[in-house]
């Protein structure tokens, strides 16, 4: 399959890029520069640019987001208007161009942020009414709405509402918990936190799965989440595997909302849970 991929140089996009290439898809990276170390074609693309002229392709995976380095929520920095305009308008231009280029499938990487943060301890389902409380969540919600409006029996759209993504991105040396592990090793005090997580390879597997099925509907939404993880448990496992000792934080008090994933699992998605987490920690210390 000929696949167009945005955001391939980012920490999440690299997992998807590696998966698609490994499965034999012909991938064209849409971005400001090629991604070194991967056998992928390259086509210049910028969310802030006018309507892109895309080569004919079978599918599009859209992961790109203009944001402050290292920040998604709060990624607007001190310029929220540019953040909204570039990401929303750029996403609409991209989806429209992909449809014109003959893409039959489009996958949009959205976020659990569309549900908002007010539903602590509740189960979050794809049929719930989204109530984003951050500009990041609003931008992702707008992208979902654009894809829904463009989707039809020829151009089918799928949304993956992903939780926090962990793992060592292919080709990179840093990961989302690099600073946390360094603080722990120094003996710094760690702020308690509990959050939901999914490994980047399990997220990439979800993208791949959507390529292999015949969607009954032109547009569908899927939650992507795996672990409910307390920092205390994470750091205890890291200490056990690596031999690094530090001050474990208290167990977090707040419980986040938890996305149900039965809809994606019914298609055959099987994330690897704690086994994947422990394998990642062993990978870091190998």
**Which pLDDT score, from 0 to 100, does residue 215 have?**
66
First to last CA, the chain: 35
Average pLDDT estimate for 139-146? 97
Residues in the chain: 286
Report pLDDT for 211.
87
Distance, in Å, from the CA atom of 256 to the CA atom of 31, rounded to the nearest integer, reads 34
Q: For residue 105, what pLDDT is reported? A: 95
SS3 170: coil
Q: How far is 197 from 227, CA to CA, in rounded Å?
A: 5
Mean pLDDT of 5-34: 96
Residue 69: pLDDT above 80? no
Question: So what's the pLDDT on residue 66?
Answer: 84
Q: What is the mean pLDDT of residues 221-250?
A: 97
Mean of per-residue pLDDT scores for the chain: 94
Quick check: 71 pLDDT over 70? no
Handedness of CA 184, 188, 189, 194 (dihedral sign): negative
Taking residues 3-8, report their average pLDDT. 97
pLDDT band at 70 (very low <50, low <70, confident <90, very high): low
Residue 174 to residue 189: CA distance in whole angstroms: 21
Q: Quick one: what percent of the chain has pLDDT higher than 70? A: 95
The confidence score (pLDDT) of residue 226 equals: 98
User: Which residue reads 């390879």 in tokens?
Assistant: 201
Q: What is the largest CA-CA distance in the chain?
A: 56
111 SS3 class:
strand
Residue 73 binned pLDDT confidence (cut-offs 50, 70, 90): low
pLDDT-derived band at 79, boundaries 50, 70, 90: confident
pLDDT cut 90: percent of the chain above it: 88
pLDDT above 90 (res 248): yes
Fill in the DSSP letter of residue 157. E
Calculate mean pLDDT across residues 152-178. 96
pLDDT for position 286: 82
pTM: 0.95
Check residue 68 and give its pLDDT.
Answer: 65
List, for residues 212-224, the tens digit of each pLDDT value.
877 678 999 999 9
pLDDT at residue 77, rounded to an integer = 64
State mean pLDDT over 101-118.
95
Contacts of residue 44, Cβ cutoff 8 Å, sequence gap at least 6? 30, 31, 32
Tell me: pLDDT of 228 over 90: yes
Q: What number is the average pLDDT over the span 269-280?
A: 97
- 111-138 residue pLDDT tens: 999 999 888 999 999 999 999 999 999 9
Over range 78-103, report the average pLDDT.
93
């Amino acid at each position: 399959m000929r696949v167009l991929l945005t955001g391939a140089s980012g920490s999440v996009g690299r997992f998807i890029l590696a998966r698609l290439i490994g499965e034999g898809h012909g991938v064209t990276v849409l971005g400001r520069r090629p991604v070194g170390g991967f056998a992928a074609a390259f086509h210049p693309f910028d969310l802030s640019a006018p309507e892109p002229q895309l080569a004919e392709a079978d599918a599009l995976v859209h992961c790109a987001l203009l944001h402050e380095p290292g920040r998604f929520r709060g990624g607007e920095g001190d310029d929220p208007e540019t953040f909204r305009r570039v990401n929303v308008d750029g996403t609409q231009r991209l989806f429209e161009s992909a449809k014109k280029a003959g893409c039959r499938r489009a996958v949009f990487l959205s976020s659990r942020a569309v549900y908002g943060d007010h539903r602590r301890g509740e189960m979050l389902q794809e049929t719930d009414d989204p109530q984003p409380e951050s500009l990041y969540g609003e931008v992702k919600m707008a992208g979902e709405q654009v894809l829904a409006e463009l989707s039809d029996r020829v151009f089918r759209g799928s949304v993956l509402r992903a939780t926090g993504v962990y793992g060592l991105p292919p080709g990179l040396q840093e990961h989302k918990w690099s600073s946390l592990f360094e603080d722990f090793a120094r003996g710094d005090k760690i702020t308690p936190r509990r959050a939901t997580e999914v490994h980047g390879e399990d997220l990439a597997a979800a993208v791949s799965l959507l390529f292999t099925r015949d969607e009954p509907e032109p547009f569908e939404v899927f939650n992507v989440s795996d672990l409910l993880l307390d920092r205390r448990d994470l750091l205890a496992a890291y200490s056990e595997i690596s031999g690094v000792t530090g001050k474990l934080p208290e167990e977090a008090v707040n419980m986040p909302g938890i996305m149900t994933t039965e809809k994606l699992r019914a298609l055959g998605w099987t994330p690897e849970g704690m086994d994947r987490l422990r394998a990642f920690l062993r990978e870091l210390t190998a």
